[in-house]
Amino acid sequence: MGRETRSDNFEISLSSSTDMDRNESLMPLPCQHDDESIVDLSLDRRGTENRRSRVLQALFYGNFRPRRRIGRRESDRNHFFIDWHEPRMLYLAMCVLLLSCTDALFTLKLIDAGAVEGNPVMASMLELGIDRFLASKIGLTSLSLVVLVVAARRILFKNFSVQNLLQLLCMGYVLVIYYEIYLFRYVFEVNIF
């Protein structure tokens, strides 16, 4: 049998008398090329400086000039940490932080009126002092918000993202604030406004 030339510049033999011939015939044979079309693959286009050695500079540069808005591949869409977020993520995080601060202040005022802290971790911090209570409450909330905002596009469950978790957290704080206002007004009869 003869040989057939394909469009991808390889020749494949069509004869297949034995297994050995079949394996040899499936191996592509390079065609003749002009000298102009041969590319020197040994050229290394990388520079001599390693970009990974400048971590702090890269962090500062990335904070002020973010580039990654989505993953490069389709498979990276849900498993990728980006360095640019929509402005609504900032608004959502600030809302949660302000509601957490409001909750801390309302909690202190309710304790002055005779209430008891229901969270055992915050109750132990409150025994150490008001400054420790406020620092731990606001610090833990801030640290948690940073982690959640960084991972905002990650999918937790089938269609439930970390951004949805932040929205639920915000709504939870709104409900806590409403409950504290109810306690002020109807249980302890304290005027907060």
Question: How much of the chain exceeds pLDDT 90, in percent?
Answer: 41
37 pLDDT higher than 70: no
Are 96 and 175 found together in one domain? yes
Are 108 and 179 found together in one domain? yes
User: pLDDT digits over 47-71, tens only?
Assistant: 666 666 676 776 666 666 656 655 5
11 pLDDT higher than 70: no
Are 99 and 11 found together in one domain? no
**156 φ, ψ to 5°?**
-85, -55
Tell whether 180 is covered by a domain: yes
Q: What's the number of domains the chain is made of?
A: 2
Domain encompassing residue 180: 87-187
Residue 192 — pLDDT band, cuts 50, 70, 90?
A: confident
User: pLDDT digits over 94-143, tens only?
Assistant: 999 999 999 999 999 999 999 999 999 999 999 999 999 999 999 999 99
Tell whether 79 is covered by a domain: no
The stretch 146-175 carries a mean pLDDT of 89
Tell whether 69 is covered by a domain: no
